[in-house]
A and B are shown apart, each in its own frame.
Chain A
Amino acid sequence: MLFPLIAVKAAVADDAAVERGKLVFKSCASCHQVGPKAKNSVGPPLNGIFGRRAGSIDGIRYSDDLARAGANGLVWDRNNLDAYIENPRSLVSKTRMQFRGIKEPEKRADLIAFLRTFSDNPRDIPEAAPTATALSHDPAVDPNILAIQGDPDFGEYLAGECVTCHQVSGADSGIPSITGWPTEVFVTAMHAYRAKTRAHPVMRMIAAPLNDEEIASLAVYFKNLQP
């Protein structure tokens, strides 16, 4: 999936975008701080977020899911930050970041331009253009897809492949539990693996050949599982 790489200006980002981004940041400020006096809050400070490994700030109570994603190699860049801000659950199903997400791509681009000014050595970050940049990841799952009714029998058969690792009992060590997950959370996660928004190689491989019906069927099966 390609996005237009806009030539990075040597110095600071488009000032207008940064100013707009500062306003967007007000939605974040209740949990995250930036700037020279930034400290741990509900969430980590976002200075130096670009190129930082997810879940790496001491003293922050990260969710198991985010800590695991970080341990599996998730490093924040413009691309996955855009996905996370759009819908945190697309990257981390049980994130502690209780945030509905920002649907408008231009607003996210402005916010990212603002955040970027607090990072020392941003890499691969196109300037936030005055108009929306092309998305480099699949947008959040279409509500029509979320509405697909899966076939529980089909889901049970497909799940044979999953339950070797994801125990139906809900046990959760080394491999997260997916028993009883709401279908929307399940479908969002699987689409993120399929779109390669999420990095885990085993899950990407599992998700790649699944179509929307199959994901919906699996979601129904796991939602109805009693541990």
Chain B
Amino acid sequence: MTITRRTFGIGALAVAGTAIAPQVMSAGRPRVVVIGGGAGGGTVARYVAKASKGDIDVVLIEPTRTYYTCFFSNLYLGGFRDFSSIGHTYGKLASDYGITVVHDWAIGVDRSKKSVQLASGADVSYDRLVVSPGIDFRYDTVPGYGVESSNKMPHAWKAGSQTQLLKAKVEAMRPGGLYMMVAPPNPFRCPPGPYERISMVAHVLKQKNPTAKIVIVDTKEKFSKQGLFTEGWSNHYEGMVEWLPGSIAGKIKRIDADKMEIHTDAEVFKPDVANVIPGQKAGTIATAAGLTNDSGFCPIVPATMQSQMDENIYLVGDSTIAGDMPKSGYSANSQAKVAAMAIRASLSGSKLFPARFANTCWSLIATDDGVKVGAKYEATEEKIAKTEGFISKTGEDAQLRKQTYEESIGWYNGITTDVFG
């Protein structure tokens, strides 16, 4: 389906400072409903509420009462943060921004009636809807592994209890044991994430279980920041980490969580601890609402983050097809600001500026050894396109790597304040 300027009243490309005639609203404030209170949805809710100063009613639907950020969860695994420091609550969004925070699941969207059905049975009507559900798993990419396997072999790819579980398993692993990871196929949330996790697990094992081994079975032939991680593993964890790309390991044939076995074309692994990260798709509510295409993710209009399927619905974060942007918390927060601006422009006639996006991903390889990769993006007719980027270099000195790590801490404080108030 091609999107033309006529399809959307706002227009796919906006001129700086254009004021849009506000919609004619029925009595009462216009309402924006946001499904998902993570880095994407939380940011949209806060930015719409903050800028509209009460003129727009914002309802945020988020099942969890405390949000544990996936970003920095690896640092908790590595012992660099405690668990509570990556947890954030929604009280401030309610008290300081007047957002109606509802802890419930959205189980359906009626796009013709413009209402959201909640698991508790309530219906919430919307003028504009934001869907930011993150990801769900494609279990077909890991035959034999399912929801019921996630205690024996945690994915820990949605942070919280799973992260605590994985950390406990790492610390309880028998001396000289084997830690395995099944790394996910593209596209997946947080491209450097699995490899930062390996670094953090190696850091723990080096201290507590130095004869342990780590094997990564990957369907991919390369991964994000590969040169930097490979150098770091060799510098800090010599001999401990083995990465097997698809061409060597072959496909995953079968996973048996009860028996703790992972069968690939090349061999049968019997790990002591296994972290299986399945392939991914948009959070299920997006599919239920008819917002996904065959890829399992959601096509969007780059200039506004509107769904290509419905002009009253906006999508941000990991569930979207965001062109050159990776799936990350930073990207979700960046896209959310474009969406918030576009929503307010469509509801209240505030200015619509050209969309700007950015992302930076920091990864920690070892104590005080941090690296980063990032880019800026712009909205083109067909996708969100990278304009320029940068990446840390191999061989950087210790002072710069330490500064990079400290910068990431500053960023974490900044983004969590930006999302949760």
Contacts and interface: CB of A to CB of B under 8 A. Distances in A.
B334 interface: yes
A23 interface: no
A167 B414 contact: yes
A27 interface: no
Given A71-B399, A153-B351, A164 B409 contact: no
A168 B17 CA distance: 24
B399 A165 contact: no
A104 B4 CA distance: 56
Contacts of B374: 202, 205
A72 B409 contact: no
Contacts of B399: 53, 70-71, 73
Contact of B358 (A166, A171, A204, A206): A206
Given A160-B337, A209-B376, A165 B411 contact: yes
A166 B418 CA distance: 10
Q: Classify the secondary structure of B's interface with A.
A: helix
A125 interface: no
Nearest to B390: A201
Interface stretch (B134-142, B172-180, B245-253, B400-408): B400-408
Interface in B288-319: none
B400 A202 contact: no
A173 B334 contact: no
B330 A164 contact: yes
Nearest to A56: B399
Interface in B1-56: 16-17, 47
A70 B389 CA distance: 22
A126 B248 CA distance: 54
23 contacts: A68-B403, A70-B399, A71-B403, A72-B403, A153-B351, A160-B47, A163-B414, A164-B333, A167-B410, A167-B413, A167-B417, A173-B410, A174-B407, A174-B409, A175-B407, A175-B410, A175-B411, A175-B414, A202-B374, A204-B390, A205-B390, A209-B376, A209-B387
Interface of A: 53, 68, 70-73, 153-154, 157-158, 160-161, 163-169, 171, 173-175, 201-202, 204-206, 208-209
